[in-house]
């Protein structure tokens, strides 16, 4: 379904607005598919994200602030997510050997088994979602989105170069 039909727009907005709307709608579509997969395994997307970070981290674990920095969905309350995953036996906190004020989060054997079991389904889902593109198209689109994201970070920092505004008299 086209953007105009899906959002019931009387006319298409500017190309930049079309792109922004397409990105937002695509994000929602991807999240819905991921939510369905993770919920079938008793997880939320945010919990999966924390488990993914911890599993890929150093054996001594990550402090909470490091998890927050690495999250994809940064609005999540990471401490609460870790608490819930700890209750499920998927993560545990261990005291930092060098700084007793800091606890590190490590994955448990149960958490590792869950994540290892999700590797195949996540890869399959990703393959189905991106199956409409060739490998080269996937890489090109990923590069374009990275360029856009970096440009947005520049805007967020207030560093966009001023553009000359052309007016007609």
Rounded Cα gap, residues 83 and 89, in angstroms: 10
> Judging by beta carbons within 10 Å of its beta carbon (0-12, 13-18, 19+), is residue 119 exposed, middle or buried?
exposed
pLDDT per position as a tens digit, 44-56: 999 999 999 999 9
Predicted pLDDT of residue 165: 46
Handedness of CA 43, 46, 47, 53 (dihedral sign): positive
Contacts of 133 (CB under 8 A, 6+ apart): 141
pLDDT tens digits in sequence order for the chain, 169 residues long: 788 888 888 898 899 999 999 999 999 999 999 999 999 999 999 999 999 999 999 988 999 888 998 998 777 789 999 999 999 999 999 987 777 788 899 999 999 999 999 999 999 999 999 999 999 999 999 999 999 999 988 877 776 655 544 444 3
């Amino acid at each position: 379904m086209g953007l105009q039909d899906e959002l019931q727009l009387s006319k298409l907005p500017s190309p930049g607005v079309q792109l922004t709307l397409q990105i937002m709608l695509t994000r929602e579509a991807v999240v819905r598919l991921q939510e369905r997969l993770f919920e079938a395994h008793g997880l939320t997307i945010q919990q999966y994200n924390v488990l993914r970070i911890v599993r890929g981290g150093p054996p001594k674990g990550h402090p909470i602030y490091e998890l927050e920095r690495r999250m994809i969905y940064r609005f999540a309350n990471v401490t609460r997510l870790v608490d819930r995953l700890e209750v499920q036996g998927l993560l545990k906190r261990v005291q930092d050997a060098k700084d007793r004020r800091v606890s590190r989060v490590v994955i448990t054997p149960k958490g590792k088994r869950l994540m290892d079991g999700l590797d195949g389904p996540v890869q399959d889902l990703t393959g189905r979602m991106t199956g409409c593109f060739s490998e080269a198209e996937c890489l090109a689109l990923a590069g374009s989105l990275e360029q856009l994201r970096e440009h947005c970070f520049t805007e967020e920092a207030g560093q966009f170069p001023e553009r000359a505004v052309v007016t007609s008299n």
